[in-house]
Amino acid sequence: MSSSAVTTFRASRAAWSQDLGLALIATLIALAVDAMSGFKTLHDAADNDSLLRLIEIRDLLAGQGWFDLHQYRMGVDGGFVMHWSRLVDAPIAAIILAASAFTGSIAGGEMAARILWPALMLCLSVFFLARAARRYGGDSAVLPAVIAGGGALHFLGIFSPNALDHHNIQLMLTLASLSFLLAAPQQKAAAAFSGICAALTLAIGMETAPYVAVIGLCVAGLFLFGGQGERSVARQYGLGFAGTALTVFVSTIPFADWGQARCDAFSSVQFVLAALGGTGLAVAASFDAACRTPMRRAMALAVLGAGLAAITLHWFPQCLAAPYAGLDPRLHEYWLDHISEAQSMFQLIQARDSSVLARYVTPIIAIAIMAARLRQGAWRRQDSLVGALLVASFVVSIWQVRGSTFSIALAVIALSGWIASWRERALATPTPAVSLKMIAVWLVSMNAFWTVASAMIADDPSATGAPVAGKPAMADCKADKDFSILATQPDSTVLATSNLGAPVLAYSGHRALSGPYHRNIAGNLLVLDAYMGTIAEAKTVIDRNKVGLVALCPGSPENKLLVDGAPGGFLAQLLRGAIPAWLEPVAGAQDGPLQLYRVKQG
């Protein structure tokens, strides 16, 4: 190895070490902040998805099959199949088992995993943000990326202790895919790692399909216009993407389901398109006959795109419909249309929701900065990659708030370069005016600043905890202790609104008919039938489904939806204190946030 190569290797290793060290520091600071608050999110009963993820992991550790994704304790008798991936369950379960060896109990292992898993995802996300910023804005952009990125990710809420949902690992893998792609083709195998990360985030959940598609289109576009220099990038990315899709398919999908197409989870649809798309891109980039000239590259990509489109239209046309097109209209009206992460930007503006500042300002500033670069003719490969993903995530966030989780993080990369340029100006021209401008640039680039500003406007300091939490918040029954009396009752089936479903399962041995999951159609409709029907109709649902307990959270905003829809219904009467003769209050459960009623037998 030549002396220059050795110097380059050492510099690269030093940069990796520095970026990882800064990410660790940012993570430790975030953990310290959470520790000073007593890790209050560990007792959060409002995060349905994290609680149900924990339940899935408990079931796996208790012996439920790797390929069996049934949630047997929710919905009608027999449960329903969840659309989540074991790719998230496995590493968290491993942490629980390893930690339990030190704590002496599974409960202690769970507590450790609920802290360590989000912290690990935060550390890796900040690390890949730093790596991407270094490639985008140079070495001086790393520190701004860690400071602005660490603050932004902390306030997103998806990295708080107890956040076991898959959104944090999906964001981390998306940032990793972008970071590796920015490093290619200078770093060997970087493009292959980018493809691996893109395939993994897609396999974990379909929410990231737009970003994975944009990354793939960027690779194809660079291959088309970049010519020979991007051949190895396209080949490695395609092979990494296709190979990972194959590995995930055979390792997480049971053989009996290989022929089933499911649009809301990784299945034959996603596998076929990913395998053919990745392999086709790698093949096109491997043969001179297909990539010698721009015209040939364009023809090869056109044939590949047409083939994928034809396969989709012929075999999987159902997956071109809206994600919840087949959902029962009542579930749209009384559940889906009111989920906060599914709201649009325009709905937030119309509702005068001050969180618009925290969700949209920094991405808009970042896009404006990149647009200015484009007008100045200073566009680079890095700008194409970062800009494409940033714009895509911002467009998604206009449609649904959940996209702002990605656009906020991706905006950090462009903003860190902007901050770095002003830091250099301040060093070169240390005048008060330049220094004040640099400080202003720092402030407006910090999403944490806009988060605090939105909370102050709303006059709600507690809102600073999770501006993009993405879960329907409950006005009450938010703590694990609220379900303590429920856990003392003999195991039965519980009738409760959907936001109480996951806590019922997590904090007791009971079953719950309802839960905020689109595959639990039968169970959710039964709860609507019971709570919005007459007392007699409610009794019919209760008897047919062997319900033993009725759980009521008077402070839940979900109640208002159902009561407004059925003012004379069973739920409305319960809230007014009209308790039918076949229900009896559970002793000690009427004064707390969660009220319990036992169904009399006979």
Q: Please compute the mean of the pLDDT values over residues 32-46 and round it to a whole number.
A: 89
**pLDDT for res 597:** 95
**pLDDT for res 290:** 79
Checking if the pLDDT of 265 tops 50, the result is yes
Checking if the pLDDT of 153 tops 90, the result is yes
How many Å apart are CA 75 and CA 268, to the nearest integer?
26
The candidate with the shortest Cα–Cα distance to 537, out of 515, 570, 510, 565, is 570
**pLDDT for res 463:** 40
The candidate with the shortest Cα–Cα distance to 31, out of 116, 91, 105, 128, is 116
pLDDT in tens, 275-328: 999 999 999 999 888 788 889 999 999 999 999 999 999 999 999 887 777 788
Q: Please compute the mean of the pLDDT values over residues 82-86 and round it to a whole number.
A: 95
Checking if the pLDDT of 6 tops 70, the result is no
User: Do residues 183 and 131 touch, judged by C-beta distance below 8 A?
Assistant: yes
Highest average pLDDT, of 86-90, 185-189, 402-406, comes from 86-90
Alpha helix locations (H) across 351-495? 355-375, 381-399, 404-428, 432-445, 447-458, 484-488
**pLDDT for res 10:** 67
Checking if the pLDDT of 465 tops 80, the result is no
How many Å apart are CA 81 and CA 72, to the nearest integer?
8
How many Å apart are CA 335 and CA 525, to the nearest integer?
11
Checking if the pLDDT of 464 tops 70, the result is no
Split at pLDDT 50, 70, 90, the class of 455 is confident
The secondary structure element, H or E, covering residue 549 is strand 547-552
* Exposure letters 453-475 (e unless 16+ CB within 10 A, then b): bbbeebeeeebbbbbbbbbbebe
Return the residue matching tokens 């890790």: 39
Give 317's DSSP letter: G
Split at pLDDT 50, 70, 90, the class of 544 is very high
Cα dihedral 423, 429, 431, 434 sign: negative
Instruction: Give percent of the chain above pLDDT 90.
Output: 75
Return the residue matching tokens 């609507």: 528
Q: Which of these ranges, 175-184, 185-194, 462-471, 565-574, has the smallest mean pLDDT?
A: 462-471
**pLDDT for res 453:** 84
User: Do residues 404 and 360 touch, judged by C-beta distance below 8 A?
Assistant: yes
User: Do residues 153 and 122 touch, judged by C-beta distance below 8 A?
Assistant: yes
Counting other chains too, the contacts that 30-35 makes at CB distance below 8 Å and 24 or more residues apart are 30/119, 30/122, 30/150, 30/154, 30/159, 31/115, 31/119, 33/154, 34/160, 34/161
**pLDDT for res 3:** 58
Work out the burial of residue 71: count CB atoms within 10 Å of its CB; fewer than 13 is exposed, 13-18 middle, 19 or more buried. buried
Alpha helix locations (H) across 446-589? 447-458, 484-488, 501-507, 521-532, 535-544, 557-565, 570-575
Q: Which of these ranges, 255-269, 339-353, 482-496, has the smallest mean pLDDT?
A: 339-353
Counting other chains too, the contacts that 321-324 makes at CB distance below 8 Å and 24 or more residues apart are 321/263, 323/206, 323/263, 323/264, 324/518
* Exposure letters 541-554 (e unless 16+ CB within 10 A, then b): bbeebebbbbbbbe
| Peptide bond connecting 185 to the previous residue in cis, omega within 30 degrees of 0 | yes
Q: Please compute the mean of the pLDDT values over residues 492-497 and round it to a whole number.
A: 96
Split at pLDDT 50, 70, 90, the class of 459 is low
Average pLDDT, rounded, for the chain: 91
- Cα within 13 Å of Cα(582), Cβ side: 15
Checking if the pLDDT of 273 tops 50, the result is yes
pLDDT in tens, 322-368: 777 778 889 888 888 777 777 888 888 887 777 888 899 999 999 99
Does residue 552 sit in helix, strand or coil?
A: strand
Highest average pLDDT, of 125-129, 451-455, 459-463, comes from 125-129
Does residue 163 sit in helix, strand or coil?
A: coil
For the beta carbon of residue 91, count every other beta carbon within 10 angstroms: 14
Work out the burial of residue 397: count CB atoms within 10 Å of its CB; fewer than 13 is exposed, 13-18 middle, 19 or more buried. buried
